[in-house]
Amino acid sequence: MRDIVVITPDLKPGAGGVADHTLRLLEHLADRGLIRTLVPPIRLSQLPTANGKVLVQYSAYGFDHLGYPRDLIRTLIDWKRKVHGRLVVMFHEIWTFWPMMNKNRFVQMLHRRSIGQLLQQVDVAFTTTPSQLEHLRALNLRTPIELLPVGSNIRRTAQPARESGTALLFGLQRARVRSLRQMQSSLSRLASAGVITRLITVGLNESSEIDRKESELLSGFGFARGFEQRGSQSEEEISRLLSKAAFGIFGQSELSYTKSGTLMAYAAHQLNVLSESADKLKTEPSCWLVAPGELIAGISQAELQRRAHRLRDWQERTCSWGIIAGKVADALQLESPAQSRIETANK
């Protein structure tokens, strides 16, 4: 079998969305050949020889604290030119957009140029949001670039009865704090109206200082049944909480919908997602989310159930792990599991 290498910023469970994405993807590609994983720094000698294949889980700040992994990009370009293997890149992040006077703007201009040079060597590229897709296509129209939303890193393992009035906020702690601030007014109104009576936060805690900020924000809402900060939990426990809650809180903008593992976990668990950018007149998934104002005005239980079901349906047909792994395998030109077993049996 040909050598297959996956390059990723990290592989520790819970270390971040890209690490968890990589681990789940590897589970679904495990029977398609010999797969090695590499974490930077990457040397050219570590990459496959002739006819090898490389998949890069590209995250700018994941690979470099300045958000410009120049050495990695150069190594990938050199490998492609010398070995002529197959190169596929999943762009979870691209370059960052800074104001004109910000000192980081010049670094990211160089980053953008390097990504353009990398795209000239890439066989197939994927990215996680429509806006990133537009920016990448503006750099290179010849390379096939496809939108591929992220999957849910939490498998649905439990289906307890929903608990009326309970909302869940899942994700890394900094993102949770941003969501609480972003939706502070809406959550206060929902608490006052008795629509949300308890809020549970769950996910990796980063520091005692951020933990204190999260607690202060939660204390200010006045939920009738209070709040809980669960912190890091097992995948099974997170699945149970997602399945039991009535609502999932999502404070990010619609630009982040397709790159958010939090939203996908909510969707996979058929949860009603509260978002201030929800709009029933927009395309999916925006139309399947629920605006806080709709809850205050009074929305039927039947409509809530319909949207939760449609959101899960959207997630399953666009970015379930079978879909994601299948597209990545096709891009890498990997054998199907059935073909692999047949060829092995014939040797």
Nearest residue to 55 (alpha-carbon basis) of 265, 70, 79, 337: 79
- Residue 342 falls within a domain, yes or no? yes
Q: Domain for residue 158, yes or no?
A: no
- List, in order, residues 6 or more apart from 134 with CB less than 8 Å away: none
Let me know if residue 77 belongs to a domain: yes
Residue 250's pLDDT band (boundaries 50, 70, 90)?
very high
In a domain, 275, yes or no: yes
Mean pLDDT in residue range 2-9: 90
* pLDDT score for 343: 38
Would you state the pLDDT for residue 339? Answer: 45
Block residue for tokens 């096709």 = 330
Closest CA to 87 of 97, 96, 95, 79: 79
Using CA of residue 300, residue 255, residue 66, residue 38, what is the dihedral sign? positive
Alpha-carbon distance 157 to 14, whole Å?
A: 18
pLDDT for 2 equals 64
How large is the average pLDDT for residues 69-89? 96
d(CA 163, CA 99): 45
Q: Evaluate if residue 340 carries a pLDDT over 50.
A: no
Q: How far is CA 82 from CA 75, 90, 274, in A?
A: 11, 22, 50
Domain of residue 14, residue span: 4-151+320-346
Q: What is the mean pLDDT of residues 98-118?
A: 87
What is the DSSP code string of 138-194? Answer: HH-SSS-EEE-----SS-----PPP-TTEEEEES-HHHHHHHHHHTHHHHHHHHHTT
Q: How far apart are CA 342 and CA 347, in angstroms?
A: 9
Three-class SS state of 5 = strand
Evaluate if residue 329 carries a pLDDT over 80: yes
Closest among 339, 129, 84 to 252, alpha carbons compared: 129
**Is 21 in the same domain as 120?**
yes
Residue at 161 is within a domain: no
Going by C-alpha positions, the residue among 176, 113, 158, 116 that lies closest to residue 140 is 116
Q: Are 213 and 143 in a shared domain?
A: no
- Tens digit of each residue's pLDDT (9 = 90 or more) over 42-55: 999 999 988 899 99
Instruction: Quick: pLDDT tens for 195-227.
Output: 999 999 999 888 899 999 999 999 999 999 999
Least confident of 102-106, 201-205, 229-233, 336-340: 336-340
Q: Are residues 257 and 212 in the same domain?
A: yes
pLDDT greater than 50 at residue 112: yes
190 & 113 share domain:
no
Rg over CA atoms, the chain: 22
329 and 308 in one domain? no
Is the pLDDT at 171 greater than 60, yes or no? yes
Inter-CA distances, 192 with 10, 135, 272, 301, Å: 42, 43, 20, 20
- Position 345 pLDDT exceeds 60: no
For residues 66 and 346, which has the higher predicted lDDT (pLDDT)? 66
Residue 341: pLDDT over 80: no
Dihedral, 57, 63, 68, 71 alpha carbons, nearest 10? -90
274 and 339, same domain (yes or no): no
Residue type, 197: T
Same domain, 213 and 257: yes
**Half-sphere exposure for 33 (CA within 13 Å, toward CB):** 19
Average of per-residue pLDDT values in the chain = 91
Q: Give mean pLDDT, residues 162-190.
A: 95
Q: Is residue 67 within 8 Å of 60, Cβ to Cβ? A: yes
At 338, which CATH number? 3.40.50.2000
Paired with 86 in beta bridges are 53
Residues 110 and 233 both lie in one domain:
no
User: Are residues 107 and 170 both part of a single domain?
Assistant: no
% of the chain with per-residue pLDDT over 90: 80
159 within a domain of the structure (yes/no): no
- For β-strands 86-91 and 53-58, DSSP reports them as parallel
**Are 314 and 329 found together in one domain?**
no
pLDDT of residue 336: 63
The pLDDT of residue 205: 87
218 and 301 co-located in one domain: yes
Domain count, the chain: 2
Q: How confident is the model at residue 30 (pLDDT cuts 50, 70, 90)?
A: confident
- Is there a domain that residue 156 lies in? no
- Which position has the higher pLDDT, 346 or 38? 38
Residue 43 lies in a domain: yes
Would you call 199 exposed, middle or buried from its count of C-beta atoms within 10 A (0-12, 13-18, 19+)? buried
The answer on 133 and 224 residing in a single domain is no
* Predicted confidence (pLDDT) per residue in 269-302, tens digit: 999 999 999 999 999 999 999 999 999 999 999 9
